[in-house]
A and B are shown apart, each in its own frame.
Chain A
Amino acid sequence: MSWTVLRQSLYWQRSRLIAVGLVALAWGALIPTFYVTFQDLFEGLIEGGFPENLLNFGSGSLFTLGGTMTIGFEHPIGIGLVAIFAVGAAANAVAGEREAGTLEVLLSRPLSRRRFYASVGASVKIEAAIVLALMLAGQTASIIALGVQDEIEVAWIPMVWVMGLLLWAAFAAFSLAASVSFDRRGPAMALSLAYLGVNYFLEILGTFLPDLDWTQEYSLFHHFNPGEIVTGNLDPVDILIFAVAIILPIIWALVVFPRRDLAAPA
């Protein structure tokens, strides 16, 4: 790990991190408000014959506070806010420097490729962790302000952050693996977004087509379920799945990156 690279990477993202962090805080605060405000309306819709599955979203549900929290993290807005760093910044971290030609000036110093990889990897994970923490802080503050904290086990909220971090660390690890594998940011970004999109597609497919809800098991999103966590139901298998999804791309990157030829940028 190079603290200089880590510090500089965080410095470059500071404005974006502040802006996205504030939006995440507001988005988090909105979720419990949504649940409290529209709960009666949703129940009325179901009684009126509206398909119940359409009021669920991925692994979330609008009928419980925990389920609503899950939707907050699985909604495209929630995903987009974290993905800016865990996918966008990660995919750009190495391939972007290669494309711009700045990587060779860095690597002409006593800095190994693995150290550089570890440093930019730590940077994007810290950024994702901050956004997740702010989103969760918004949710928690709103839950307490609305007085509905009795519906969940508040002591488990930090575990939501930990599991969220594992989920996004897996996406960041994949995006970084893509980033070290290409000389241009385009292919790295496309591959990373495709990975995110496929996972998202598998998760929401079951929402609209209940017969295909088995596909959710193959989505990383399905293994991060804040609604289950805040009721004390944390499945250790989910942690194992995330560990594998994090470690495999890291191994790929640590093997491939040092062995690649870094020809002069075009």
Chain B
Amino acid sequence: MKWSIPITEGMHPGNLGCQACGGALSMRLALKGFGPDTIAVIPACCWSIIDGPWPVHALQIPVFHTAFETAAVVATGIKAAKAYQEKDVTVVAWAGDGGTFDIGLQALSGAAERNEDIVYVCYDNEAYMNTGIQRSSSTPIGAWTTTTPDERPELRPKKDIMGIMAAHAIPYAATACPAYPEDMLRKVRRAKETTGGMRFLHVLSVCPPGWKMSSERAIEAMRMAVRSRVFPLYEVVDGEDTTITYMPEEPVPPEAYFEMQGRFRPLLDDPDQLDQVKALIDKKWRSLVARHEATHGSPVAAD
């Protein structure tokens, strides 16, 4: 068997991530793809902690920690300086879902609209996990968080951040998940190598404490998110050309994904809402398949 994941590491062995942290795993994989000539910008998010307290630094690349809403624009400033100095370096904004979907959306949209030469990675654990599990606009419908308690769980579907980014017609946008490392690494490399503007990666990253599940099933949960079509793996080029990069041969029912996690108990207790959620997943999947077929002129082949 050929080992397709590089053994080189961009992270040091220790970090402050929780057990089975999807965000830490996403970073580890991403740095294998971005390589050493990379500068990261980290706004307020779990990774502000995971990196470690001064003088500890878990990464083998320079990191500029910044304010919550500024990842995209600080990366823009760094890239401008490096371009002025004629230094070739990949500048990566590395933000959580709160810093991307919510408070950072304005700066993100600005950078995307200007088509800045940066890579923006959102590691998405679907709530404000660092502050103790409060809902964000990435929190899926029917989920429990500390601000969407069982009596009033999340009522709105997850914001379509990929749709928003595609609407900016940036050269490259993709979803990824560290439970599919080869797919993710390929997309990281493509993001690094794509020229002509901004690249965006939306990386589903499991959070066992926030998702209310045991950590030994973390990878399995992310796989189930993909296999149930809750979180399809795909990429969008120039805001238009769409490719589903992983086609589950036999999709699993979304309940199988929801049932692994305590946070979806309110949803599972409400058959009507569960039906609505499943219909929504199906509708979004069909729309994605239609865009794939429109791009490629042929049906999606199963992996």
- Bound pair (A, B): no
A residues with CB within 8 A of B:
none
